[in-house]
Amino acid sequence: MYSVCVRDYMMVAHSFKGEVFGPAQRLHGATFVVDVEFRRPELDPDGIVVDIGKATEVLKAILTGLNFRNLDEEPAFAGRNTTTEFLSRVVFDRMAAAIAKGELGAGARGIDHMRVTLHESHVAWAAFEAALSDG
């Protein structure tokens, strides 16, 4: 199994609902350093997993849709806690949709697994990974 991973980041505000979150129930924020790992069993004819240039551009576009925002006010997340693990899934789903639409190039359809990791500090991170149904 081959992998390629690209990294970018976003800076957002949010708050959480639920006693389990303690002081994080207050409005606060986070820098999320985001890694997206693309996986496939064989390389494409160019010898790559994915066009790393396109992957980087699409990741930036996805994060620009979240960056420098108060996620508490995003209609897409109404009624949800935008935890690090939840946001890992959001980035995963948006990247999977971009692959399906061909935004990472035709060769990217060979990607059959992804793992998205959001580093929230030097001591904690969360991730979501799954097979791609279109893979």
Residues that bind a copy of itself (CB under 8 A): 1-9, 11-14, 16, 18, 20-24, 26-33, 43, 46-49, 51-53, 56, 67-70, 80-86, 88-89, 105, 107, 117, 120-130
The helix (H) or strand (E) run that includes residue 85 is: helix 84-100
CB nearer to a copy of itself: give 21 or 76. Answer: 21
We find the least distance from the C-beta atom of residue 116 to a copy of itself, in angstroms, to be 10
We find the least distance from the C-beta atom of residue 101 to a copy of itself, in angstroms, to be 18
Burial of 74 (0-12, 13-18, 19+ CB in 10 A): middle
We find the least distance from the C-beta atom of residue 65 to a copy of itself, in angstroms, to be 12
CB nearer to a copy of itself: give 23 or 101. Answer: 23
CB nearer to a copy of itself: give 67 or 135. Answer: 67
Nearest to 36 by CA among 72, 70, 69, 10: 10
Rounded Cα–Cα distance for residues 38 and 131 (Å): 10
Cβ neighbour number for residue 23 with a 10 Å cutoff: 7
We find the least distance from the C-beta atom of residue 100 to a copy of itself, in angstroms, to be 20
- Roughly how many angstroms between the first and final C-alpha of the chain, as a whole number? 14
We find the least distance from the C-beta atom of residue 41 to a copy of itself, in angstroms, to be 10
Dig out the tokens for 97 from the structure. 């949709």
Dig out the tokens for 50 from the structure. 């994915």
